[in-house]
């Protein structure tokens, strides 16, 4: 029996996350200052994609919290659209993604967002399910609304264990 793969969660940064998607955050210089100087707009920060026959929608997810170490046994992806996760409160959560390796997920990476950070996953990016580490955990999810299932799941032969 081989030992389970263990990976360490790292802080979420735009540079490390770029191959998988966008970090949604107020960082760097704002693109525009509006409302008589009282509001900074960081403009159009998500590479959104709703595929053929789809449209943008906002759904609300309420998820049960998990704890670290966390055993991730399944990765999924959405072949027809991007998917953004915006936490609606201060909470710790985990973002697990993986590069594609010939139609199945390669070795996963795990990120711990800071308060004020969301993510937008590019279309067809392998990722773990929504994994809050505290409750209540309410997220706005901006993704494709359409008639197709738009979901591919891959069950790992052995879970990947994510530690802090």
> According to the binding rule CB under 8 A, does residue 55 interact with its own copies?
yes
Helix (H) or strand (E) holding 143: strand 138-145
Kindly indicate which of the ranges 9-17, 96-104, 112-120, 154-162 contains the residues binding its own copies, using the contact rule CB under 8 A.
112-120
> According to the binding rule CB under 8 A, does residue 88 interact with its own copies?
yes
Among 83, 118, 121, 123, binds its own copies (CB under 8 A): 118
> According to the binding rule CB under 8 A, does residue 51 interact with its own copies?
no
Residue 45: CB minimum distance to its own copies, A: 6
Q: Residue 126: which residues within 8 A CB-CB, separation 6 or more?
A: 75, 76, 77, 97, 98, 99, 100, 105, 106, 108, 154
Residue 141: name the closest of 12, 19, 24, 4 by CA. Answer: 24
CB neighbours of residue 102 within 10 Å: 5
Among 19, 69, 106, 115, binds its own copies (CB under 8 A): 115
16-45: contacts with its own copies (CB under 8 A): 24-26, 30, 34-35, 38-45
């Amino acid at each position: 029996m081989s030992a389970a793969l263990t990976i360490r969660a790292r802080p979420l940064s735009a540079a490390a996350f770029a191959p998988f998607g966008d970090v949604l955050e107020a960082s760097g210089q704002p693109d525009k200052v509006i409302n008589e100087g009282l509001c900074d707009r960081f403009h159009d920060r998500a590479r959104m994609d709703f595929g053929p026959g789809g449209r943008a929608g906002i759904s609300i997810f309420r998820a049960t919290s998990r704890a670290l170490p966390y055993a991730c046994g399944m990765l999924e992806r959405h072949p027809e659209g991007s998917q953004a996760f915006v936490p609606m409160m201060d909470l710790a959560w985990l973002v697990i993604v993986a590069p594609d390796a010939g139609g199945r997920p390669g070795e996963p990476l795990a990120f711990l967002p800071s308060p004020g950070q969301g993510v937008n996953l590019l279309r067809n990016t392998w990722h773990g399910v929504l994994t809050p580490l505290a409750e209540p955990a309410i997220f706005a999810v901006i993704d494709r609304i359409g008639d197709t299932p738009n979901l591919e799941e891959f069950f790992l032969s052995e879970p990947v264990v994510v530690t802090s």
